[in-house]
């Protein structure tokens, strides 16, 4: 089994944990925030939030004919607390929701892939998390 470098990105959401959870996990909200910039959008999302269930999004560039699918399978689900999932290449990531005085710290811990520089991956995931924060 390959060993991957763990990277953590975080955002403080100005909402309680229930709202932060719902906006992160419900497809009606995912399509409004799951992209890194205004040049992109997320036209489709589905989410079967149970162990063994699948998460799926389609990300597409707005002005160029380019896009990609992103999917994973849940390996742990703790409602309103967090979840862990496995990507098709066996990387394992987790998301945690920690309430702090009416606000929620959302923390994504992910295994870096080997094709892109760590800094680029960190910036990409942080930007998506920031987009989610702005939307929520």
Domain ranges in the chain are 6-135
Rounded Cα distance, 59 and 8, in Å: 22
Q: What is the pLDDT of residues 113-130, one digit of tens each?
A: 988 999 999 999 999 999
Beta-carbon contacts of residue 120 (< 8 Å; ≥ 6 apart):
none
- pLDDT value at residue 126: 95
CA 87 to chain CA centroid, nearest Å: 12
Single pTM value for the model? 0.91
- pLDDT value at residue 2: 56
Q: What is the pLDDT of residues 68-96, one digit of tens each?
A: 999 999 999 999 999 999 999 999 999 99
User: What are the φ/ψ torsions at residue 39 (nearest 5 degrees)?
Assistant: -80, -10
Q: Where are the alpha helices (DSSP H) in 1-136?
A: 17-25, 27-30, 118-135
The matching CATH number, chosen from 1.10.580.10, 3.30.530.20, 3.40.50.360, 3.10.450.50, for 6-135 is 3.30.530.20
């Amino acid at each position: 089994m390959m060993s991957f470098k763990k990277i953590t990105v975080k955002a403080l959401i100005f909402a309680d944990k229930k709202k932060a959870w719902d906006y992160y996990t419900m497809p009606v909200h995912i399509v409004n925030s799951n992209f890194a910039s205004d040049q992109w959008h997320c036209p489709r999302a589905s989410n079967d939030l149970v162990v063994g269930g699948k998460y799926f999004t389609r990300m597409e560039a707005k002005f160029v004919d380019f896009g990609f699918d992103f999917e994973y399978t849940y390996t742990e689900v703790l409602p309103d607390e967090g979840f862990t999932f496995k990507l098709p290449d066996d990387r394992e990531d987790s998301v945690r929701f920690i309430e702090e005085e009416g606000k929620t710290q959302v923390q994504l811990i992910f295994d870096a892939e080997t094709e892109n520089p760590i800094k680029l991956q960190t910036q990409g995931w942080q930007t998506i998390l920031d987009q989610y924060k702005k939307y929520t």
